[in-house]
Chains A and B, each alone.
Chain A
Amino acid sequence: MKAKHVRPGEYGAVFKYVLLLPAVLWVVAFTFVPLIFVIHYSLANYVLGLGITDYVGLENYADVLASDRFWHSIMVTAAYVAISVPIEVVLGFTAAWLVNLGAPWSYGFRTVIGTPLFTMEVAIGYLGVTLFSSQGGLVPAVLGLAGVHVPWLSTAWGGIAAAILLDIWRWTSFVFVIVLAGLAGISSDLYDAAILDARNHWQVMWRLGVPLAWPVTTIAILLRTVECLKVFAIPYALTTGGPGTSTEVFSAMDYLTTVQFFNFGQGSAMGVIFLVMVAALLTVFFKQMRKRLA
């Protein structure tokens, strides 16, 4: 497949670099240069106002790795991603499949279901406070009618669950929009053929829809995972990490360490550690995805 698309670079020898290089340089200047700074800071003792006072080797790293708060935030982030992303993918895919059937009014359904993608996460986090608050919150009030009482914002797991629910609300629409675009690209002839030897609708979805939409879905899963690992605004606005630091995600902790406490050394070191862990995870993830694509 690759060979069909990529042609020998007979006339494009210089042209192709003219097209590619500005983007590469831009990314290098605005993300990789700062990253080098981060690595630099991570090896140093940085005092606000004085700058780097001395180099401490791997001491920042040792401090971070020995910190319970760091590992706790990693666990919270991991749980957050592991729960919300699969749910978002399943819900988003199903919704896209249903809308793609083209039933009357699907245009309206499509419009509404895609809307949360365009909201501001910070605002949604604050809205979540009023949704889940035990005082006058909508969710506890509705659940209360059914006799269910969940301590949403007063316990760690309740706070994480509330943040995940908001995340699902906000980001299912992303999977939805991407998968829907992918499904629309499937030729109608394929449905005609599939319907002949499938017993029912759901079989067509499993045998035809899922395999054909898999590459697009892979992109959605990948992008969602990458974004979700950086999650900040929703849980931070919702719980500020509380009670205590029990619902603190990684980005929130790193943000507080650097911006609030100006501990650039440790903040940078934890960033580097996090980056290494994420890179390892994504490498494994990508190998698996490629195998299935092949």
Chain B
Amino acid sequence: MTNILWLRASLISKVVVYVLLTLAVIFTLLPFVWAFINSIKTSTATFEPGAFIPFITFQPTLDSWHNVLSDPQAINAFISSIVVSVGTTAVALILGVPAAYALARFQFPIGSSDIALWFLSQRVLPPAVVLVPFYLLMVYLQLIDTWTGLIFCYSAFNLAFAVVIMRDIFRDVSTEIEDAAKVEGATPWQIFWKISLPLSVDGLVVTAVLIFAFTWNEALFAAALTSQSATTFSALVLASRSTRGVDFNIAAVNTLIGIIPPVVLYFFVQRYLARGLSFGAVKG
């Protein structure tokens, strides 16, 4: 939808807008282009001065792509990342969304915004601080190096997003619709499940994408709590330093492969992002 501000803008304003947006796009794309150039270099060429243009200043090769794609460990890590991210998103939403709804609709002895803040407060905890107790906890639960163990941890960390964002979204769902349903004899559960939730799908999708992306990105816990079979892609990338020094051409391939699943997801849900979330802001 085109904004009236754009329709009324002067030609100069329009040019300025396009120039700024184009600069933003260049700034955003440059590292990706650089990653691609690195990915087709040999590992010695990655630190060769002036090796910027394929075929002209260096001889491109697909070796590093071949290395990564034929490495069973990398494939396994990739699958792990997908399973763990999807699982985490599911668990965080299943637990977080009902809680968010309760906080948006009902009164509690403690203020609902204080409870939401409490959820958020555990995001303050730097992962490095709780690494050891988590490790011991996972050993105790026999969940070390398993997908389940990672999903448990990550869903707890990301629950705050589900609670805080969805609470604000539910607050924007008109209570009149719910009241009408109540008069018709709907149970509280039906009101939540059949009315409020479907009306909040946009927010749900955005929350899911954010949780997926955050989980996908996490490396520290994944590195500490897995050793082999459940290692995620980001943990594999992190570990590439300790094993054989960093092969930066391989790291570049990993950068590019690593963005595929979340970016694909992002493309699919784009339209939801545009419809507008207010995160509790007053709508006009």
Contact = CB atoms under 8 A, between A and B. Distances in A.
B65 interface: no
Interface stretch (A60-68, A78-86, A156-164, A190-198): A190-198
Contacts of B240: 126
Interface string B1-30: 111111011000110011011001101111
Nearest to A15: B188
A178 to B, nearest CB: 7
Nearest to B49: A136
A206 interface: no
B54 to A, nearest CB: 14
Interface range on chain B (Cβ under 8 Å from partner): 35 or more
B108 A16 contact: yes
B74 interface: no
A51 to B, nearest CB: 10
A291 interface: no
B278 A123 contact: no
Contacts of B20: 94-95, 98
Interface in A157-196: 169, 173, 177-178, 180-192, 195
Interface in A82-127: 91, 94-95, 98-103, 107, 109-124, 126-127
Contact of B258 (A123, A187, A226): A123
A103 B132 CA distance: 51
A206 B214 CA distance: 32
B157 A31 contact: yes
A71 interface: no
Given A15-B188, A120-B234, A195-B5, A230 B127 contact: yes
B156 A177 contact: no
Contact of B51 (A123, A136, A180, A268): A136
A120 B274 contact: no
Contacts of A237: 238, 241
A110 B24 CA distance: 10
A170 to B, nearest CB: 9
Contacts of A135: 47-49
Interface string A6-18: 1111011001111
Contacts of A120: 216-217, 219, 233-234, 237, 254-255, 258-259
Given A26-B159, A136-B48, A112 B28 contact: yes
A184 B52 contact: no
B131 interface: yes
B24 A95 contact: yes
A20 B153 contact: no
A102 B3 contact: yes
A123 B257 CA distance: 10
B279 A182 contact: yes
B264 to A, nearest CB: 9
A116 B5 contact: no
B50 interface: yes
A276 to B, nearest CB: 11
B46 interface: yes
B283 interface: yes
Given A23-B163, A115-B259, A274-B129, A255 B220 contact: yes
B3 A251 contact: no
Interface string A219-259: 10011001101101100010010000000001110110011
A141 B152 CA distance: 45
B98 A22 contact: yes
B126 A229 contact: yes
A182 B278 contact: yes
B40 interface: no
Contacts of A272: 129
Contacts of B280: 215, 219
Listed residue (B13, B107, B124) with the most chain A CB atoms within 10 angstroms of its CB: B124
A131 B124 CA distance: 31
A233 B219 contact: yes
Given A127-B38, A191-B4, A264-B132, A27 B277 contact: no
Contacts of A180: 273-274
Given A31-B130, A212-B281, 18 more contacts: A9-B107, A15-B106, A19-B102, A34-B133, A35-B130, A38-B130, A115-B259, A116-B28, A118-B263, A126-B241, A129-B248, A130-B34, A136-B45, A180-B273, A182-B276, A182-B277, A215-B280, A223-B123
29 contacts: A7-B175, A11-B188, A19-B101, A20-B99, A20-B102, A22-B95, A34-B137, A37-B133, A91-B24, A103-B6, A110-B270, A110-B273, A111-B270, A114-B266, A115-B28, A115-B259, A116-B28, A118-B259, A124-B255, A129-B246, A130-B252, A136-B49, A182-B279, A184-B277, A188-B3, A201-B13, A219-B164, A250-B128, A271-B126
The 9 closest A-B pairs by CB, nearest first: A271-B129, A30-B156, A187-B284, A184-B276, A37-B133, A185-B276, A118-B262, A23-B99, A34-B133
Interface of A: 1, 4-9, 11-12, 15-20, 22-24, 26-27, 29-35, 37-38, 41, 91, 94-95, 98-103, 107, 109-124, 126-127, 129-131, 133, 135-136, 138, 141, 169, 173, 177-178, 180-192, 195, 200-201, 204, 212-216, 219, 222-223, 226-227, 229-230, 232-233, 237, 240, 250-252, 254-255, 258-259, 264, 267-268, 270-272, 274-275, 278-279, 282, 286
